[in-house]
Amino acid sequence: MSTPDTMDEARLDAVAATWGPAVKAACAGEPSPETRARIRALAEQGLGTRRRRVFFARLRSYRVSAAAAALICATTLLVIRPTERHVPAHPAHPLAALDGILMLAASDDAEVASYPAATRPTRAETVALARRLLEMQGFLDDDAEDIFAL
């Protein structure tokens, strides 16, 4: 395609330079102070938005570490949390109660010499006491009788 000389860049630049002042005088203008103020307010908002965006972008880079830390903390809390001691509403197992009674009976054999003679229980008294305690708790059964028979 042939290029006419009027399309020459330098020539058109010269034309623009010649016409420029008159065209500017005819067409130029300025925005109002109100518009400038609104743009400034928008710029201020934009800065706030940018700060938030940067903050969340930084946060995102730590999200894997943060998730792992949160998981570890949650697990640790679950493990070490204080729990209420379980108090059974029903009587102890008969054998456990029997153990206690037998210990009481066995104490009859221990250090009896140190007891005052008046307070020293006889074996028959100890067994009778144990039998009575078991009976009160409803644990007197064949097993208990077998043990007492030993």
Partner 1 sequence: MAASPLSDDEVLLQRYRAGSLEAFDELVLRHSRALFSYIRGMVGQQEEAEDLFQDTWARVIRHEASFRGGTVRGWIWRIAKNAVIDRLRRHKPDDSLDRPIREDGLRLGDQIAAAGIPVPDQVAGADIGRRIAACVEKLPRAQREVFLMRTVSDLSFNEIAEILAIPLNTALGRMHYAVVRLREALADEWRER
Residue 78, classed as helix, strand or coil, is helix
Query: Does residue 32 touch partner 1 according to CB under 8 A?
Result: yes
- From residue 15, how far is each of 6, 26, 27, 116 by CA, in Å? 10, 16, 17, 134
Q: What is the DSSP letter of 91?
A: P
Q: How far apart are CA 107 and CA 76, in angstroms?
A: 45
Query: Does residue 55 touch partner 1 according to CB under 8 A?
Result: no
Q: Which stretch binds partner 1 (CB under 8 A): 9-17, 89-97, 112-120, 127-135?
A: 9-17
Query: Does residue 28 touch partner 1 according to CB under 8 A?
Result: yes
Q: How far apart are CA 147 and CA 140, in angstroms?
A: 11
Query: Does residue 36 touch partner 1 according to CB under 8 A?
Result: yes
Q: Which stretch binds partner 1 (CB under 8 A): 36-44, 72-80, 85-93, 112-120?
A: 36-44
Binding residues for partner 1, rule: CB under 8 A, are 3-4, 6-9, 12-13, 15-16, 18-20, 22-32, 35-36, 38-40, 42-47, 50-51
